Each structure stands twice: as C-alpha cells, then as structure tokens.
Amino acid sequence: MKVVFAGGGSGGHFYPIIAVAEALEEIVTERHLIAPQLYYFAPTPFDEEALFENRIVYQNVPAGKLRRYPSMKNLTDIFATVYGYFVALGLLFRLTPDVVFSKGSYASVPVVLAAKTLGIPIIIHESDARPGRANLLASRFAYRIAIAFESARGYFPAKTRGAIARIGIPVRREVAHIEREGARELLGLDITVPTVLILGGSLGSKRINETVLQALPDLVSFANVIHQTGKDHFEDIRKTAPVVLEGSEHATRYHPFPYLNAESIRRAAGAANVIISRAGSTAITEMSLWGVPAILIPIPERVSHDQRTNAYAYARTGGAVVLEEGNITPHVLASEARRIMSDPATASAMAAGARTFTTADAARLVAEEIITIALSHEPNATAEIL
C-alpha cells in the first residue's frame, strides 16, 4: 500500500497530513495489515522531524503561488507549477501509489494534476469555510471530498456534492488532548490568577504581537500571559517586553515563546482560561477539542480569503468572539479577555459551545477511506504481519 500526501506551505495544511499518517499507522496495526509506504510531495518538507517520526519519505515537487494581487511573480510561478507537474508525473509513475491525499494550497496543484493524468484516485480535504482555489480545481476529479465546515459544501461544483462528507479536521494525537493537571505549576505560572494563551499562527503575527505588547501592563495585572510569538518575531519581543513592563510588579507573569511544541501546547492550553488566536482552521479545531473560550482575530480578507469566514462560522457555536484586526486596540483586547475570564457563566457557556464544533475522529475517517481504496487496488495488502 502506497500513499502520497500533497499540500503544505503552512502548519494548517501540513499537520493534518501528519494526523492522517498517525491514523493510518493505528489502523494497520489493529488489523495486522502490511505497513503502508508514505510519501510527502511538496516544495519544502516543512517539518522534517514530523516526517521522520511518521516514516514519511519527502519528495521535492516545485510549485508556484497564484497571488491575489498584481505581481510579476504570478507569471513566473506558472512555470514553476508546470515544471512541478512534470516532476510529480515522473515520481507518481515510478512509485505507482494507490491513492493521493491532498490538503490543498498551491503546493498540491502539480501533484493532483499529475495524479489525474495517471488515473490515481484522489481524496481532498478542505479545512476552511470557503474552499481555496487549489481544492476547487481538484474537486472536479476527486474521488472523495472531505470538509470541515458545512458552508464549504455549496462552493463545490454541483456534480461533486455526492462525494462530499463533513468530517472535521484531522488533528495530531499529541495535541488533541490537553494537560490540565499541574499545567500551571509545570509552566511556572502564578496559580492565583487566570491565564491567557496567545497564538499567532505557526509563523506568528506581527499585528497581534504589537497589540499584545502594548496591552501587556494591563494583561499581566489580572492574568498570566503565555505568548507564542513566532520564531521571526521572538528576539524583538524578548527585548521590548522588559521595557514595556518596567516597573510592573507583575512582570514575571509574562511568558513569551518563539514556538510551542506539542508537549508545551498541551500544557499551555491546559492552563489557559481564554485563547487569543488567528482563525486558521486547524487552530479552531484544536480549540474546539480543548474546550477553551477564544478571542479570534482573523487575517483581513484582502490578505486571506478564508480566516474571516472561519472565525464567524466558529463563533456561531458560542465558543468564540471575533475581533476584526482593523478594530483591535490594546484596551479592547485586554478588556475582552478580562470580561470572559471574570464571568464564570460566560466562560462555561463558551467552553460548552466550543466542544460542539468538531470531533476527534476526522483523521481516522480519512485513513479508513484511504485504506479502503488501497485495498481495492492491492488485495495482497491484507496479508497479516508475521
């Protein structure tokens, strides 16, 4: 059994692939099937450690972006995509995989086009409330289409509707469940006050970071602050924060990190009373599984078409409030966090609403479908491991 994963460019596209790989491993172990050969086709490996841990072989397949604004790079990147198509075509012809699973994004386009050419079954997963262009293209020849938001269904061509199922978003095992017991002590937090966890996406958010820095004196006056800044922003924030908090008796309540690994995010989320975050689909799904109230600050629509739609779709569960980036100020951000945490009834209702958004079995549902397709191609894959 051979499976090719396609997509990438951000954690929201990459880590659901890892979740599906984990689920595949669980299923083949349970059923005593021959272990699958897994491959990841993308312009960059994104997280080489995660690929290695899940025995996924990386293959470089170039791809070009199509930007939403005028740029000469749109023209030159067409050639990158065409070149990537021929690279993917050669790799797929040589490897002869049973199925291609695509998470979308520009990185997936050469791979799914090559898979279509060779007649390889394609499963796509759309994480956002409004599908991206790559998945809309791939949907025309996809065998199955998985979605996370019901609103996404209406964007796909009518002839594909029978192949669509809403399953949620695959989430890695290691972050699906949080550590509440002793999390504050392990992180060195002040246990007498609540905790705000700030997540700006896998790369961080300059705008959120700037607003948080200005709000810090107010925030630390009533809460611990765990702040994932993004690796590129960490040094500037590490130098600026002590200046901002100079003279504050609660300066030690601020805890910046360039990046939170799986173990750290489990503890941070377990300690958090409210999360301030971008509105990436994977982040929303994780917050839903964690059952933590959220303040969402979506990337503006002129930059990213999906986050604003995601944010309001999730907010309708009652699990989050949405603050538009253009409207946030340090005072508004701190006040909203204080409002949620100071009212137990509000916080409890938001936590309950959050848990209604998704379930934890999306990765397994995708993996089951992949195995069904693969076994239909390879009857010998059912042989038991000796």
**Residue 75 pLDDT class (50, 70, 90 cuts):** low
**Residue 183 pLDDT class (50, 70, 90 cuts):** confident
pLDDT score at 385: 35
Q: Where in the chain is the domain with CATH 3.40.50.2000?
A: 2-171+360-382, 177-355
Report which residue type is found at 317: T
pLDDT tens digit sequence for 76-131: 778 889 999 999 999 999 999 999 999 998 999 999 999 999 999 999 999 998 89
Inter-CA distances, 378 with 20, 87, 109, 198, 375, Å: 20, 25, 26, 47, 5
Asked whether the predicted pLDDT for residue 72 surpasses 70, the reply is no
pLDDT tens digit sequence for 218-256: 999 999 999 999 888 899 999 999 999 999 999 999 999
> Class assignment of domain 177-355?
alpha beta
Task: Count CB-CB contacts under 10 A for residue 4.
Answer: 29
Contact 67, 74 (CB under 8 A): yes
- Give the burial string for 198-214 (b: 16+ CB within 10 Å, else e): bbbbbebbeebbebbbb
CA distance 217 to 251: 8
Contact 226, 191 (CB under 8 A): no
- Which option is the CATH number for 2-171+360-382: 2.10.109.10, 3.40.50.2000, 3.30.390.10, 3.40.1010.20? 3.40.50.2000
pLDDT tens digit sequence for 286-334: 999 999 999 999 988 776 668 899 999 999 999 999 999 988 999 999 9
Beta bridge partners of residue 60, listed in sequence order = 42
pLDDT score at 60: 97
Q: Show the 3-state SS of the chain.
A: CEEEEECCCCHHHHHHHHHHHHHHHHHHHHHCCCCCEEEEEECCCCCHHHHHHCCEEEEECCCCCCCCCCCHHHHHHHHHHHHHHHHHHHHHHHHCCCEEEECCCHHHHHHHHHHHHHCCCEEEEECCCCCCHHHHHHHHHCCEEEECCHHHHHHCCHHHHHHEEECCCCCCHHHHCCCCCCHHHHCCCCCCCCEEEEECCCCCCHHHHHHHHHHHHHHCCCCEEEEECCCCCHHHHHHHHHHHCCCCCCHHHEEEECCCCHHHHHHHHHHCCEEEECCCHHHHHHHHHHCCCEEECCCCCCCCCCHHHHHHHHHCCCCEEECCHHHCCHHHHHHHHHHHHHCHHHHHHHHHHHHCCCCCCHHHHHHHHHHHHHHHHCHHHHCCCC
pLDDT tens digit sequence for 23-71: 999 999 999 999 999 999 999 999 999 999 999 999 999 997 765 555 6
**Residue 383 pLDDT class (50, 70, 90 cuts):** very low
Tokens 């005028």 belong to residue = 70
